[in-house]
Amino acid sequence: MTEPAKNLPPIGEVFNPHSPEYMLDPVSQCLALAERGALVWYEPWQAWMMTRMDDIMACWKTEPLSSDFYDWEFAPPRPPEEEWSNFERALIGHSLLADHDHHRLVRRVTAPAFSRNVVDKIQAKIEPEIRKLFEELGEPEEFDYIEKIAFHIPFISITRMVGIPEKYWPQIKQVIMTFTETWNPTISDEQRESARQDSNQAIDIIKEVIAERRSAPVQDDFLSTLLRIEVENEGFEEGDIITLILALIGAGADTTLVAQQWSVYALLKNNRDQIDKALATPESFTNAFCEINRWGVSSKMGFARYAPRDMEFMGEKLRKGVMVLMMPHLKDHDPSYFENPEQFDVERVFEPDALFGYGPRFCIGAALAKRQLYLTISELFKRFPNIELAEEPTRDDTDHNAVVFKRLMLKTNCSLSRPQS
């Protein structure tokens, strides 16, 4: 990156992730923000933005800033413990985001729950469900991938992979779209309270499921694995299980919906030889997904942190509670960081792979999310080897966190795959 340029227009005039221009061309706006310097003040969000990967990696690793939402200067008051609802007990009392020591305990004792062996067992549960979803689709000439496939994946994830029984689906599905909003600093207080209430209802259901599962035979799903860990590890409690399940609901639903559509779009928009390379193995897809995410630049905002006190940080004086957004996606089309950034290459080397965070805050469910995505995309191209985009998808401006599509129409070209009579 270059040093901050002088005589440039205010950053608010050239960078607006919620603008129609950003949805069509995020790259130019991201580069415009990055050229302002390492730490840039963004008036519309009353936040500092960290633009350079070396600084972001150091912040992930050493954690000089708070990840506790209640430390934000504009957060609602932290409620006293006697007034906590289920949501506060999960977010504060057992949060993976706030308490460093407890966070490290949870990561250490739950590591076996994300082992290759467990992921393989969960794959065995969800793979038949994904095949069934495509069998029900049949062989239409065209279909909307988001409506027919992507929107159904959270159901498979939550009921089969996480282990919440299907009978609870009608009650819990609302939280899928709103749970990640509970700590989003850019939404209104009304939206956040609505998301909080949805989360409270979901937690009631999770507590009920846990009570049922304690007396049920062991099953090969994530919840059963966590219950075994609870028995074997002092300090790991039911509240930790609830928090992890909520995190997986968020990662397996909202985040996965974005990943599903961008994976299909990126692979169809570029050279076809990239598809076989990307889907050769689960490991090759893990790398390919980094490239899909880099090429697409779907992010609107970064990872929120907050100054825990008045402090000096990266040469700036930060007031207590001010937000600092780590923006790793700003590097994705920077030619000084990636060679030929406009080129889509699923074999591009990512060292380090920071797509799901880094260090102590690396996303604990990343392996599960990527395996689920790999299975779905592989099934799509196996059934429809000649599939192509039916149209350029229209961007949807209603998502608070990412650039997404209103629909993703695909043309199957099934007749090209059938033997001629």
Each residue of 187-201: pLDDT tens digit?
777 877 887 788 888
2 found inside a domain? no
Confidence grade of residue 369 (pLDDT, cut at 50, 70, 90): confident
Give the model's pLDDT for residue 338.
92
14 found inside a domain? no
Q: Which of 131-135, 353-357, 368-372 has the highest mean pLDDT?
A: 131-135
Residue with tokens 């299909």: 264
5 found inside a domain? no
129 found inside a domain? yes
Name the least confident of 98-102, 157-161, 348-352, 375-379.
98-102
Better-scored residue on pLDDT, 358 or 281 = 281
328 upstream amide cis, omega within 30 of 0:
no
111 found inside a domain? yes
Percent of the chain scoring above 90 in pLDDT: 43
CATH code for the domain of 202:
1.10.630.10
Give the model's pLDDT for residue 186.
65
Please say if the pLDDT value at position 5 is more than 60.
no
Give the model's pLDDT for residue 122.
77
76 found inside a domain? yes
Please say if the pLDDT value at position 407 is more than 80.
yes
Interatomic CA distance for residues 390 and 121, integer angstroms: 36
Confidence grade of residue 402 (pLDDT, cut at 50, 70, 90): confident
3 found inside a domain? no
Q: What is the mean pLDDT of the chain?
A: 85
The Cα-based distances of 134 to 130, 327, 402, 418 in angstroms read 7, 36, 26, 17
Q: Which of 100-109, 171-180, 311-320 has the highest mean pLDDT?
A: 311-320
Q: What is the DSSP string of 267-335?
A: HHHS-THHHHHHTSSHHHHHHHHHHHHHHH--BSS-EEEE-SSSEEETTEEEPTT-EEEE-GGGGTT-T
Confidence grade of residue 215 (pLDDT, cut at 50, 70, 90): confident
Better-scored residue on pLDDT, 105 or 387 = 387
Give the model's pLDDT for residue 385.
96
Name the least confident of 77-91, 176-190, 265-279.
176-190
Name the least confident of 237-251, 277-291, 349-363, 372-386.
349-363
Number of domains in the chain: 1
The Cα-based distances of 12 to 51, 166, 297 in angstroms read 15, 46, 19
9 found inside a domain? no
Domain housing 381: 23-416
Give the model's pLDDT for residue 3.
47
Q: Which amino acid is it at 223? A: L
The Cα-based distances of 229 to 109, 235, 246, 373 in angstroms read 7, 11, 17, 26
Dump pLDDT digits (tens) for 60-99.
Answer: 888 899 988 889 999 888 888 888 888 777 777 655 555 6
